[in-house]
Chain A
Amino acid sequence: MAVDVPSRAQILRGVMAELERLANHLGTLAGLGGGYNGGRLGYHREQLCRAAHIAFGHRLMMDCIVPGGLAADMAATGPAALAAALDALAAEWPSLPDPPPPALSASAAIAWAAGGPVARALGLPGDARHQPGYPPYAGQPTGAGRHAEAAASLAMLRGWLASLPGGPVNTVLPTTAGEGLAVAEGPRGPVWHWMRLDGGLIAAAFAADPSWRHWAWFEQEAAGRDVADIPPLLRWFGNGVSGADL
């Protein structure tokens, strides 16, 4: 299905995706960091959510991206609000810590087809933003591991917001039938979507959360460890609890 998403919508989709990733990584790092640094990371996560609410009308930007583009353009006050939150984070970023990774097995990660920042922190390749790749990530370094990825998201966001193209933010979708598979890199890893269209309507769909595979990997990694090591390991994985149930 050939759909030409306007360039402004493509960049703003990237802005939302990276804001989400940054906010999630900050939240996870806050849980790992604890104390003063954890508090600061949580503070910046909240400021990003508030800026997203001003810019896109929803703290977590749910329902803001629709097939063909965006549900609505960014608010006129959005760029200033986002820039303020991002600049404050960038100023404090060098003093915020990079928590050391736990010892995890790369072969187990490969066996469970793990992805996302937890797998990349082990040096494993694979980031849907580059493989297979989709706009607007061409030529943008995305980092490996939560801390590096958060820094990369911060750089991408500031770059995009500094030179946003104008124009429309959505396009009309053709009425068609067919079946397709797509992947987007979420904060926890690749989110796969399968969908069947019939007469322009969704006949069937399935979305696969990365946590679905990561829980199996976590179980293998948790076996034999001290009980006290489990809570930090859980926070490090940051799995969603619902991905496996729905």
Chain B
Amino acid sequence: MIWQRLLTRLRPAAETLPDPAPEPVEALAARLDAAAQARLGRSLALRHVPTGGCNACELELAALTGVVYDLQRLGLRFVTDPAEADVLVATGPLTRAMHHALESCLATMGEPRWVVAVGDCAVDGGVFKGSYAVEGGIGGTVPVDLLIRGCPPAPAQILSGLMALLAVNASARPVRRRRA
């Protein structure tokens, strides 16, 4: 390979490196860990499950990805694969048809994970409360970590709730792990 020949010609013969001293390595690893938590930890992948809302919450969630709110700049992003997701975002009163989809989405997500109910419907059924077609909120099916009320909540409200999760995630120990 020509690049290998180039490299050997350009670089002087490398000296054998001594083993690194153990103490500085530990100290550096600790510092890197803290820095990584502060930077890389401030990133969450969101999986949206529309559990039968009227589409108002969905519209406001979609607005978060636009140029005005631009949630990517905060380290938040929507993903399609639940196995990639840290946060399950549900909107809607949970229609019976979506019960299984919600459960299986959460089951696919690795720990640690959060569940966010966006909008009054996902919180307790909202205007659909008492309907034979809905379960009246997602709380009876999956454990909910964060409630964002509103009919629908404004994008800024949703964003401030998600930023609270970011803060929790950034300070969490140990470093996040994913299920393969």
Are B56 and A60 neighbours in the complex by a CB distance under 8 Å?
A: yes
Are B152 and A242 neighbours in the complex by a CB distance under 8 Å?
A: no
Specify which chain B residues have a CB less than 8 angstroms from the CB of A60 in the assembled complex: 56, 59, 152
Are B66 and A46 neighbours in the complex by a CB distance under 8 Å?
A: yes
- For window 41-82 of A, CB contacts with B under 8 Å fall at 42-43, 45-46, 49, 53, 59-60, 62
Are B59 and A242 neighbours in the complex by a CB distance under 8 Å?
A: no
Q: How far is the CA of A60 from the CA of B62 in the complex (A)?
A: 14
Are A242 and B52 neighbours in the complex by a CB distance under 8 Å?
A: yes
Cβ contact of A241, chosen from B52, B62, B131, B134, cutoff 8 A: B52
Cβ of B28 within 8 Å of any chain A Cβ, yes or no, is no
**Contact size class for A?**
20 to 34
Are A246 and B95 neighbours in the complex by a CB distance under 8 Å?
A: yes
Q: How far is the CA of A57 from the CA of B104 in the complex (A)?
A: 38
**Contact size class for B?**
20 to 34
Q: How far is the CA of A240 from the CA of B96 in the complex (A)?
A: 16
- For window 96-144 of A, CB contacts with B under 8 Å fall at none
- For window 7-36 of A, CB contacts with B under 8 Å fall at 24, 27, 30-31
Q: Apart from A59-B60, A245-B133, A246-B128, what are 19 other A-B pairs with CB-CB below 8 Å?
A: A24-B59, A27-B59, A42-B63, A42-B68, A43-B66, A43-B68, A46-B68, A49-B63, A53-B154, A59-B154, A240-B54, A241-B50, A241-B52, A241-B55, A242-B54, A242-B55, A245-B98, A246-B95, A246-B134
A: residues with CB less than 8 A from B are 24, 27, 30-31, 39-40, 42-43, 45-46, 49, 53, 59-60, 62, 240-242, 244-246
